Amino acid sequence: MYNAFTGLCTPGSYLKTGTFGAALAPTTTEGDLFAPAACDTNDGFTFVTSGTLSACIKVSSVPMTYSNAHAHCLSLGAHLYVSRSIERFYLLPGSLVYIIGLTDLAKEGIFVWEDNGYVITESLKSSLFEPGEPNNSNSNEDCVIVVFWGLGIFAKDYACEGNEFQFVCERPLVL
């Protein structure tokens, strides 16, 4: 447990037991609890981290359509990469275009994350998509790619089938 006041870590700190045996996290005056996370690196997955952000990912070596990329990730016990912040996208290797786990396949204009079915927040949507996107061009753009451009990143919707891009599979971290 890290205590910002003293600047010390206390190895072996314990969690207090609460009602019905539930563990209670430390209070803010006691410190911040850091739980180690592990990445199942079988099948070529890698643990990536930057600051407080981390992920267990596998970058594709072969471009695929959305449906093939989605199925490939599922076969590895993973899902297409998701991010609830712009900063988390920078865990990915730059200079490429990637299919991500964000689509509006279920309902046009409502983009949901593949891992939990939650709708993307308006603030992230407006900062992630480039101006004029998503635009559902030709009424068939339901999948999303992220593009690293210079020092920035932006998203575009695209037709899920008939287009092949690299993609990133993500496994949950094991605590």
pLDDT of 119 over the 90 cut: yes
Higher-pLDDT residue of 122, 13: 122
What b-and-e string marks burial along 83-107, b requiring 16 or more CB atoms within 10 Å of the CB?
Answer: beeeeebbbbeeebebbbbbbbeee
Q: Does this model's pTM top 0.85?
A: no
pLDDT in tens, 94-104: 878 999 999 99
pLDDT at 70 over 90: yes
Residue 16: DSSP 8-state: E
Query: Which is more confident, 173 or 71?
Result: 71
**Token digits of residue 131:** 């101006």
- Report domain extents, the chain: 1-34, 37-171
Mean per-residue pLDDT, 30-50: 79
Question: In this predicted structure, which of 10-14, 90-94, 97-101, 123-127 has the lowest mean pLDDT?
Answer: 10-14
- Three-state secondary structure call for residue 125: helix
Assign domain 37-171 to a CATH class. alpha beta
Residue-wise DSSP of 18-69: -GGG-EEPPPTTT-B-----B---GGG-EEEEETTEEEEEEE-SS-B-HHHH
* pLDDT on residue 168: 97
